Amino acid sequence: MSPEERHRERMQRKKELVDRKIARATIERGVLVVNTGNGKGKSSSGFGMLARSLGHGFRCGVVQFIKGSFSTGEEAFFRRFPEELDYHVMGEGYTWETQDKARDIQAADAAWQVAARMLADASYDFVLLDELNIALVKGYIDVAKVCDALRARPPQQHVVITGRGAPDALVELADTVTEMRVVKHAFQAGIKAQKGIEL
């Protein structure tokens, strides 16, 4: 058997295996995705899924926890879709910048009120809760309350939650969990945050 024939045979077996898995995946419902870990790309992935959802004509909502003291490219871009996208930047900046726990808790609670409204509204097909994990880890928002709202959301609604340190209860509840791991980061070499990459 030639190398080409062996390759074709391996790929045929793989195709049959993948096709069987696809045939078994018959459930159609909204999924809960959690992007966590110390590596870069958690929010970027969430905004990528937001772009896909808008591309499919979905009505979408974004609530950004923690972030908010500086403008970002994603906000500048996605604000171009006011009819399809309900976008809220509700943080007051990273906690080491604000240095005011009471104010951070108040901002997180206000953001959660907006997020909870979206999660209860079936007209939202996709909801991105950016950096919610940080507010949960810090204890600014009750994890049980968030999990209850996620369980009660409309059955077809997709939700993506980002941020380091996703609580165990949220990881358990999620359908898909990805942990980003740092291998190397430009900041460690003294390179400042760049527009289009971090901002």
Whether residue 197 lies inside any domain: the answer is no
CATH number at residue 185: 3.40.50.300
pLDDT higher than 80, residue 55: yes
Whether residue 91 lies inside any domain: the answer is yes
Whether residue 10 lies inside any domain: the answer is no
Whether residue 44 lies inside any domain: the answer is yes
* 60/198: higher pLDDT: 60
Domain that holds residue 147: 28-189
pLDDT higher than 80, residue 44: yes
Whether residue 194 lies inside any domain: the answer is no
Q: Residue 73: its pLDDT value, please?
A: 87
Whether residue 71 lies inside any domain: the answer is yes
Q: How confident is the model at residue 126 (pLDDT cuts 50, 70, 90)?
A: very high
Whether residue 153 lies inside any domain: the answer is yes
DSSP 76: H
Q: What is the pTM of this model?
A: 0.90
DSSP 31: -
- Mapped onto helix, strand or coil, the DSSP state of residue 160 is strand
64-106 confidence digits (pLDDT tens): 998 765 678 888 999 999 999 999 998 766 655 566 788 889 9
Give yes or no for a contact between 89 and 129, defined as CB atoms under 8 angstroms apart.
no
What is the distance between the alpha carbons of residues 99 and 133, in angstroms, rounded to a whole number? Answer: 19
140-158 confidence digits (pLDDT tens): 999 999 999 999 999 999 9
Number of domains in the chain: 1
Residue 126, beta-bridge partner list: 60, 158
Whether residue 9 lies inside any domain: the answer is no
